[in-house]
Amino acid sequence: MSNKTIEQPVLRDNSQGIPDNGDSKSGILGGSIFGTTVKIGTPILVSFIFMFLYNMVDTLFLANIDRSSTAIISGVSLVLPIYNLFLALSTGLRVGISSLVARSIGEDNHQKLANSFNSGLFIAIILTVITLTIFYWRHEQIILFLAGERLEPEAIQAGIDYLVYLLPGLGLLLLGQPFIGVLWGKGLTVPFGIAMVISNIFNVILDAVFIFKFKMGPAGAALATSVSMGVAGLYLVPYFVIRKISVSVWPKMKQIKKKIIMEICNIGFSQVFSTFSVSVAFMILNRLISSIGQTEMNSWGLCYRLDSFVLMPVYAISGATLVMLGQTFGNGNWERLKKIYHSNLFFAFICVFALAVLYIIGAPYLFKLFSNVEAVIRSSVLQVRIVTLSFLGLALEIISTSTFQGIGKPFAAFWLAAIRMFGFAIPLSYFTV
């Protein structure tokens, strides 16, 4: 990173700052880098572990509706690009808010922190109304487009049912980002982790009830997800009120600032486009794979759901990196900023390599849990063996993305994802297929 292209913040005294209310500011600005990363990242990692376990159980429940069928998992997999789109918007919003909050703390700026929350909440409400209106209006046409020509009507209907019941949860996902963004920016990742643990426990329980007790099939899995996201919100919002997290949970129009909205969009825009480019790429790849056959689509969907096993620690380290670099940048300590980046990147590489080896070894046994179709198992194992070690490159991209976002210069990160997907993944996929 070149200092010439980034406006230098004013160097501040580390001993003063916004009252922490539980913030880990002193450790971020001057403590052990590894220790601080572990402290901030562990609750995030725990939440991702529970999300992964939920995905495992959810996929297992869906597969056990009919273990000899490839239609259900294939149909549900059609919704993945839409989920990625909402994830792109949510992640971009959260990153924009948390980056501003982290720098506000580093700058000792209370007002900017409050403005960041209210402006972010305004953006979240607008995005939720627009996206839900569009997807409820055209949900059938969107699924038919993603399905291509080789999927059975049963798979297409499974995709439609899943999307309709998942959309309320995706709306709640957007609305929750301003709250999560403030917590992440302040280094308070424990309440986020607790919310995700509670949410995923509810999700697993409701999955079993809706899928098998009420015979709702894929729609039941989606409804369980939507309800569990609401449960997470019922924990986070009262937490803000009880702990008095430097901002009021009630929107204040006077704290919605055009300049802050533009800053959030500027930082989050690259993340949105970065993740959105991946989402568009997945739409293209979905059509390509579904055009090969339903068995291949089933394998593709299974691998997508289980690959996150390898990347869980990277996302936790990434979340910690954004907070640490945001506050360090706001404080003006360039030397520590560089040390944080290199230390956390090395940490991420070690984690990915260890889990990738474990995933490759365990793949032949793992996928037998989800299908009795030998072709699906064989195709899934082959995909894991070919792709998984390349996640080392993803670790570099994810940590670098958080670094640029933390210092408020995120557009360099956008090109990493865009080049990866549109420069290599899609062209090579069409060439090899």
Residues in the chain: 433
pLDDT of residue 402: 86
Q: What percent of the chain has pLDDT over 90?
A: 48
Within a domain: 49: yes
Taking alpha carbons only, the member of 282, 302, 306, 309 closest to residue 379 is 302
Domain of residue 328 covers: 24-432
Q: What would you report as the CA-atom Rg of the chain, rounded to the nearest whole angstrom?
A: 21
**What gap in Å lies between CA 135 and CA 385, rounded to an integer?**
36
392, with CB counted inside 10 A (0-12, 13-18, 19+), is middle
Question: Is 14 a domain residue?
Answer: no
Contact 53, 216 (CB under 8 A): no
pLDDT digits (tens, 9 = 90+) for 111-144: 888 899 999 999 999 999 999 999 999 999 999 9
> How many structural domains compose the chain?
1
Per-residue pLDDT tens for 395-406?
Answer: 998 999 888 877
Residue 331 covered by a domain: yes
Q: How far apart are the first and last CA of the chain?
A: 38
Task: Supply the pTM of this predicted model.
Answer: 0.79
* Residue 426 in this model has a pLDDT that exceeds 90: no
Share of the chain above pLDDT 70, in %: 89
pLDDT for the residue 207:
94
pLDDT digits (tens, 9 = 90+) for 79-103: 988 998 898 899 889 988 998 988 8
Kindly indicate the confidence band of residue 12, based on its pLDDT and cuts at 50, 70 and 90: very low
User: What does the pLDDT look like over 322-347, one tens digit per residue?
Assistant: 889 888 887 788 899 999 999 999 99
pLDDT at 14 over 80: no
Predicted local distance difference test score (pLDDT) of residue 3:
39
- What integer is the mean pLDDT of 169-198? 91
Is residue 5 domain-resident?
no
For the chain, what is the mean pLDDT?
85
- Which tokens sit at 271? 């993340």
pLDDT for residue 311: 94
User: Does residue 11 form part of some domain?
Assistant: no
